[in-house]
Structure 1
Amino acid sequence: MSVSRYSAEESSSMPKRVKMGVPLVLSFSDEDKLGTIQLHDDALVVTLRICGYDVKMVMIDQGSRVEIMYPNLYKGLNLKLENLIAYSSLLVGFEGKMVIPKGQIRLPVQTGLDVVEVDFIVADAFSPYLAIMGRPWLHTLGAISFTLH
């Protein structure tokens, strides 16, 4: 796991925009594809600043209705079990098995100058990723994930 420190709490289904700055646009053109091999449609995996730490291995998943955090990251952020809010819905893991969440926690996620409060569901299940960012977060940012470039 890879985390490093920088700079937040509560509950609802959609992330909450905290701070707005100068809008940054990250875009690519077909020229950016020149010289690359486009054999795969790989998962979009990024580094995000979560709760003040740079967190690697965060998957962007347009198919996920919730944002998921796995125990290694939760512990790495020095969060305690008593910080969790009850979350009663079951989740379906990568293997198709039902996963009982440990709870939910609201944490700030920084992307460029934007900081969004995100409700993470903490799931005790195997994942090659430390967290999964889903549709609520993408919608709040007004972002579109695109794996072609």
Structure 2
Amino acid sequence: MFIGSLVSLLGLGILLWLLFTLAIHALPFFVGLTVGMYANESGAGLAEALGAGFFAGIGALVLGQLLIAILRNPWLQAGVALVYALPAALSGYYAVHGLSGIGFDAEFFRVVLGGLGGLIIGGTAWVRMGNLFGTGPDPIDGEEATILPR
């Protein structure tokens, strides 16, 4: 019984780690999945649909990187990062809502925990979007920025 509980907690921890790590890729994944499903339903073969979805997802990720690198206004950069973080928040809500069903039967607590999880995961993805593309906080003590000069 103890080993089963320990393995369950380990599995839950790995799932949460994956959720936080892959949260910033929620929008490119959604774009790639949507394009691939549309291509498959419109008569393309499996290989063509997979290729179209893969390249559409890569294009969405590269577009976000280019927009954040090109835009100099921090408000516009934050807006682009927010567009990429909103699907992460939505996926975080549904993941925590589903996982909280293991311990809670009351729907109210599941919705509250899902909302908190969505806020935390979406906020983490928003901060990581800025750090991923080199637009994080300014250097401390007069050090020069090494990724993107301002």
- Pairwise TM-score range, normalised by the shorter structure: under 0.3
User: Greater share of helix residues, 1 or 2?
Assistant: 2
Larger strand percent: 1
> Relative contact order (alpha carbons < 8 A, sep ≥ 6): 1 or 2 greater?
1
- TM-score, normalised on structure 1? 0.23
Structure 2 length-normalised TM: 0.23
